[in-house]
């Protein structure tokens, strides 16, 4: 190991002696940085196997490419530290704070990130590992124990969590696209709003986890245990037959149609129901009554809502790409941040767009709707009524608008207003 010039002499000397210790040479001494303040220290590519960093303040330090196998980092402060490409096999990271850290392509096989027990006077408390907003893209977590860790909003695209333990972990809003969780334990975890696009979740245990508002496009959940998963906020208050249909529909979606059954609520009165966060893609709601329903953050892609009544319903941040809303009534509904753009079907080998299904609002009534920041781009808007609607910052790029009504609509952007005027002529 060649000490960096950026290291102060004491740290450089400790690293040098640690190299001798690893080789069992005379004068060698195990590096002991426990509870020391070493913020911003440059230790890239260092061989610090078995080194002691417990409780140390290493915020912003650089360990990129280093060998940290079996190193002790329990309760260490590692915010924004760089571990890209580092070897952390069997490392003790219990209770460590890795918020915003870089762990791209790091190997954490058999690492321990469980809560650390801290004894303070006459009481014992647990400190969970914190990896929130960390970048662990392409990192390896084989058999890693992450029980109770805070991993909210992490970027883990292409990471591997094979046979890992992630019980009671907070992964909310994380990007886990193309990530593998094969055979992992995610019981009781918070997975709300996670992007699982093209992820591998085969044989995972998701018992009791929160899967509301997840993106499961292309995800493989074959063999996964979905017992008692939370898939919609107020589902327990719905009628038993409705609950079962939503559960069966989720199984149908998550298994690619191999399990469960497509939900059909055709003509059913579901007024006031709370299904927020549920994946109801391709469900049949034709002619259904959903007045006053809470459908916030629902996935309703390809859903059939033809002639459905959604007056005063809350559809904010819902995904309505490719949905059929012909002659639907959405008077007084809230659509803030909803997506009504075309649903694209891509060719897996080249990711070329093979086909697009636009959201179809032909003849729909959106009188008094709150549609601020809604993306209507590419939608079919033939004879759609927007009277008295709030369209602040709404997008209409590429929308097919014919004979729409805009009486007293507010917030219509100049570009959309021009297109609307042309369409009305």
The whole domain housing 296 covers 249-425
Asked whether residue 416 is domain-assigned, the answer is: yes
Per-residue pLDDT at 120 exceeds 70: no
Contacting residues for 354 by C-beta, under 8 A, at least 6 apart: 345, 346, 347
pTM exceeds 0.85, yes or no: no
CA distances from 54 to 3, 51, 58, 116 (A): 22, 9, 10, 11
What is the pLDDT, as a whole number, of residue 3? 42
First to last CA, the chain: 76
**CB-based contact 97:77 (threshold 8 Å):** yes
Tell me the average pLDDT across 141-165.
Answer: 96
The H-or-E segment that residue 355 falls in is strand 353-357
Asked if 184 and 206 count as a contact pair (C-beta separation under 8 A), the reply is no
pLDDT at residue 164, rounded to an integer: 97
Q: How many domains does the chain have?
A: 1
Give the pLDDT confidence score for residue 7 in this predicted structure.
Answer: 53
Mean pLDDT of the region 158-174: 97
Cα–Cα distance measured from residue 266 to residue 259, given in angstroms and rounded to the nearest whole number: 21
Q: Can you tell me the distance from the alpha carbon of 26 to that of 10, in angstroms, rounded to the nearest whole number?
A: 19
Report residue 250: phi and psi, to 5°. -60, -40
User: Is 148 contained in some domain?
Assistant: no
Q: 386: domain CATH number?
A: 2.160.20
Does residue 402 belong to any structural domain of this protein?
yes
pLDDT computed for residue 4 by the predictor? 45
pLDDT tens profile 364-412: 999 999 999 999 999 999 999 999 999 999 999 999 999 999 999 999 8
Closest residue by Cα to residue 284 from 269, 312, 306, 252? 306
User: DSSP assignment, residue 403?
Assistant: S
Is 70 exceeded by the pLDDT of residue 348? no
Q: Quick check: is 13 in a domain? A: no
Q: Is residue 22 part of a domain?
A: no
Q: Give the pLDDT band (50/70/90) at residue 413.
A: low
What pLDDT does residue 1 have? 41
- Give residue 191's pLDDT: 97
| pLDDT of 423 | 56
Q: Which one is predicted more confidently, 415 or 193?
A: 193
Would residue 310 count as lying in a domain? yes
The predicted pLDDT at position 6 comes to: 47
Residue 68 lies in a domain: no
Q: Which residues of 329-356 are buried (b: 16+ CB within 10 A; e: fewer)?
A: bbbbbbbbbbbbbbbeeeeeeeeeeeee
Q: For residues 371 and 374, give the distance between their C-alpha atoms in angstroms, rounded to a whole number.
A: 5
- Distance in angstroms (rounded) separating the CA atoms of residues 390 and 325: 19
CB 91 within 8 A of CB 68: yes
Is the confidence at residue 136, as pLDDT, over 70? yes
pLDDT beyond 60 at 424: no
Mean pLDDT value of segment 137-142: 96
Q: By the 8 A CB rule, do 101 and 134 touch?
A: yes
Phi, psi dihedrals of residue 244, rounded to the nearest 5°? -65, -40
pLDDT exceeds cutoff 80 at 354: no
> Looking at residue 415, what is its pLDDT?
42
Determine, yes or no, domain membership for 74.
no
* Region 29-46 average pLDDT: 95
């Amino acid at each position: 190991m060649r000490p960096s010039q950026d290291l102060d002499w004491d740290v450089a000397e400790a690293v040098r002696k640690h190299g001798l210790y690893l080789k069992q040479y005379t004068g060698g001494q195990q590096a002991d940085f426990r509870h020391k303040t070493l913020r911003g220290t440059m230790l890239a590519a260092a061989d610090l196997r078995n080194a002691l960093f417990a409780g140390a303040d290493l915020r912003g330090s650089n360990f990129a490419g280093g060998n940290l196998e079996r190193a002790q980092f329990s309760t260490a402060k590692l915010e924004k530290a760089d571990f890209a490409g580092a070897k952390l096999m069997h490392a003790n990271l219990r209770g460590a704070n890795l918020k915003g850290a870089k762990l791209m392509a790091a190997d954490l096989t058999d690492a321990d990130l469980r809560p650390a027990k801290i004894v303070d006077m006459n009481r014992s408390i647990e400190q969970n590992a914190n990896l929130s907003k960390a970048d662990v893209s392409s990192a390896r977590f084989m058999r890693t124990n992450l029980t109770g860790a805070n991993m909210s909003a992490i970027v883990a695209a292409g990471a591997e969590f094979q046979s890992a333990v992630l019980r009671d972990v907070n992964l909310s809003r994380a990007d886990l696209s193309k990530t593998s969780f094969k055979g992992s334990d995610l019981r009781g975890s918070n997975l709300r709003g996670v992007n699982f696009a093209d992820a591998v979740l085969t044989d995972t245990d998701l018992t009791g986890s929160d899967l509301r508002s997840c993106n499961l496009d292309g995800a493989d959940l074959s063999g996964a245990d979905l017992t008692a998963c939370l898939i919609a906020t107020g589902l327990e208050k719905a009628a038993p037959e409705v609950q079962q249909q939503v559960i069966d529909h989720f199984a149908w979606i998550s298994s690619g149609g191999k399990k469960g059954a497509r939900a059909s609520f055709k003509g059913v009165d579901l007024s006031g129901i709370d299904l927020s966060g549920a994946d109801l893609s391709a469900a049949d709601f034709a002619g259904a009554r959903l007045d006053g329903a809470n459908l916030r953050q629902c996935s309703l892609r390809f859903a059939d809502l033809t002639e459905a009544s959604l007056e005063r319903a809350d559809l904010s941040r819902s995904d309505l790409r490719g949905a059929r809303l012909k002659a639907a009534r959405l008077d007084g509904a809230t659509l803030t941040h909803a997506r009504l753009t075309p649903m694209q079907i891509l060719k897996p080998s080249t990711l070329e767009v093979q086909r697009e299904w636009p959201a179809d609002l032909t003849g729909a009534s959106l009188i008094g709707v709150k549609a601020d920041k809604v993306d209507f781009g590419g939608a079919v808007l033939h004879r759609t009524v927007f009277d008295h609607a709030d369209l602040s910052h709404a997008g209409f790029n590429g929308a097919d608008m014919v004979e729409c009504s805009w009486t007293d609509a507010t917030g219509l952007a100049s570009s959309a207003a021009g297109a609307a005027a042309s369409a009305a002529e």
